[in-house]
Structure 1
């Protein structure tokens, strides 16, 4: 590299690099099928290691098993006596079928002023914002206000057992002194008409997330010939259990973050709501409506079925996969209801379980996130919300670390954002990446 190139590289900002890094990461296929298949995160982790060591940092790469790699780097702060902050993202993505997409999901093509590809919003966009800002910090020689533990983690899309949970169980010392964390699915904007009929942006800051119970239902019966009547048919017993569970109405409960969101939105748009009906108000959330609707109650959705091996043979067993998400404090009740509805001929197996989270919408960290957003978008509002899915913050909670979702994006009003998570034609606007890089940089300088 020439002296001029070195000087130019030294002047690069996070905003200058964020699109390149996002494209590079999307171009590395890290599909996680959840069953041991897939390329793993090693290649992406090696890319992150190169980007970090290039600016003089000393990261570590750890594998829970061959190919399942995470990267951690600690950055010393101005005041190391303060509790540290974890800033983390995951490197894996859910699979994508190229036949369903307008573009190759791993080509990281720029089209219509967006970067397209699997991981563009979940969550290689945030990985790029983090990596770009850490590189700028290292080049500048500035220190953040407190220690940062920056992580690029494996296996989040399958529950984090080979990533965040493994790190917490086997390498908890990496997070020594850390009290708070930020990660994905928060800090993005929604746009709606306010009570004066003017367009208003609000940023949804994730302060809570539902718990996870991935269950497998196993129905048992009597095997037999397909031509002979059978009143102990496992397929029928499973179908009846599915029907009962699917028909169950889960009661509504507005936890604190949901109540604060709805109250704040109601004040902005001038539409009231009741505990029984918030539909008119929810309409104003646009593409985020699905995320929020999933937090009004516990949910149970069937996702896979498995039964039989020949057309004329009644099988002895039949199975179904059930994805349950529960609000904070609801886990025991949800499991009790599922077991009761499944019935006496159906066993309920827990394949994966993780906790619900609930953090306050107040304090120094929340103030830093809010002020960083409003510095770039002064007329906006910032509201809390609960995520219907889950993040690696669940694993860090085992160490007493309080987690928030803060991947800041100012989004076009007409972009249907939430359905792109695990959806087709996933993409992130270039302007949103630039905005997010600036906001995250402000935040890291004041956190």
Structure 2
């Protein structure tokens, strides 16, 4: 049993969230997506130590050497209610220190922010979760509902060694769970001029599906000095051009339509015939919504050839495709048509699109917690353009929401922080989010 006699009894979640966030950032958990990298084991061990310090016993799973997930269940104040899952991920995308103003793994405090890889994606939220777990344990308080807390491995590579592994191997952790909250939602956007600004919090109720595709062109190998009408690189370039130029039409899925209607009511800017002027009202965060107005495809990697005077037999490109709920089949058909007869479309990784109910008790609970902390604010739904571990939990029938609450400064360019250079989270936003998340856990 850990000795707690020297631990300050007055410590609160808000008091220690910055420390926990900084500690986690300093543990490099870069996920390169190819099995290399340090893994999450050291960060998972840190989580286990923080739990043990307040008398809680988590369970650490290692799906592969160094790839670690931590799970913990806490009884609810009302054990008859359906269970809740609260989840984060411990891995981060890589960062090149040469590109950053500061060391991305030093967790420096600068300009009122904690800087470092994972500050917003998503060690800041991990810290908010862990700080609240510790406060619940210190005060002997139970969450409102039976709650499973999970710190997953491998989210940045699709969750095969993390959320999907745990769902496949240990679904018992989610027995009785009907809803889950994790990244990315609950953050604020500020509409209007500083003199007449209005703050809106975006709750994530949907997310696009993922299809990571490989385009593989085949042709006739030959000498670089000879004419060749069956050049694999030419076939691939032509296919890439068609895909890049394809005008994916605007599609208004339910959460996007509800968001636009809400924004229009607040700003009095119409969203028909085209939503672009209204989306622009979101300022720095417009990119979050713009990406959910249509299906998207982006070419991300290219590989061909091995010598200057040799025409290769094959050439490949990587395509990151994100499709809206209900659109996977039509998007894949379109990509295959655009690729043409000389290019194969291989699925490297795919995962489902999600849409959870907006009219629900859990959304009401999240909204109440936000508005208790920020009474003048509005709360609206939105669709996440990326993906999250909610996709794995959906296989168990669990509805997933994004709720990592942050009250952000109006001038913070938040959207590019995800996977971007100079990622950072304001200290005030961390403390605000910790307070809101704690209120939600106690009252949901």
Specify the TM-score bucket, using the shorter chain as the normaliser.
over 0.9
Matched residue, 2:294: 297
| SS across alignment from 1:150 | strand
How far did residue 197 of structure 1 move? 6.0
| Closer/same/farther in 2, CA of residues 30 and 387 from structure 1, 3 Å limit | same
Correspondence list, 1:420-439, <5 A: 420-439=417-436
Correspondence list, 1:130-145, <5 A: 130-145=129-144
Matched residue, 2:403: 406
Q: Which of the numbers 215, 223, 245 marks the counterpart of 2:213?
A: 215
Partners of 1:94 and 1:192 in 2: CA distance: 31
Partners of 1:4 and 1:361 in 2: CA distance: 45
How far did residue 4 of structure 1 move? 7.5
| SS across alignment from 1:400 | coil
1:124 aligns with 2:123: yes
Matched residue, 2:225: 227
CA offsets 1:41-93 (integer angstroms, 9 cap, x no match): 00000000000111111110001111000000000111222110000000000
| SS across alignment from 2:39 | coil
Partners of 1:298 and 1:42 in 2: CA distance: 36
TM-score (norm 1): 0.97
Partners of 2:134 and 2:19 in 1: CA distance: 13
TM-score (norm 2): 0.98
Of 376-385 and 284-293, deviating more is: 284-293
Partners of 2:333 and 2:322 in 1: CA distance: 14
The answer on whether the counterparts of 2:29 and 2:90 sit within 8 Å (CA) in structure 1 is yes
Q: Which of the numbers 193, 200, 203 marks the counterpart of 2:201?
A: 203
CA offsets 1:231-267 (integer angstroms, 9 cap, x no match): 0000000000000111111121111100111111111
The answer on whether the counterparts of 2:69 and 2:153 sit within 8 Å (CA) in structure 1 is yes
Moved over 6 A (4+): 1-4
1:87 aligns with 2:86: yes
Matched residue, 2:52: 53
Matched residue, 1:193: 192
Gaps of 5+ in 1: none
Partners of 1:3 and 1:161 in 2: CA distance: 37
Gaps of 5+ in 2: none
Correspondence list, 1:335-350, <5 A: 335-350=332-347
Matched residue, 1:273: 271
Matched residue, 1:63: 62
CA offsets 1:170-222 (integer angstroms, 9 cap, x no match): 1111111111000011000000117x961110000000000000000000000
CA offsets 1:299-348 (integer angstroms, 9 cap, x no match): 11000000000001000000000000000000000110111110111111
CA offsets 1:122-145 (integer angstroms, 9 cap, x no match): 000000000000000001001111
How far did residue 270 of structure 1 move? 1.0
Partners of 1:286 and 1:36 in 2: CA distance: 38
Partners of 2:195 and 2:241 in 1: CA distance: 44
Correspondence list, 1:239-258, <5 A: 239-258=237-256
Query: Alignment RMSD, CA only?
Result: 1.3
How far did residue 287 of structure 1 move? 2.1
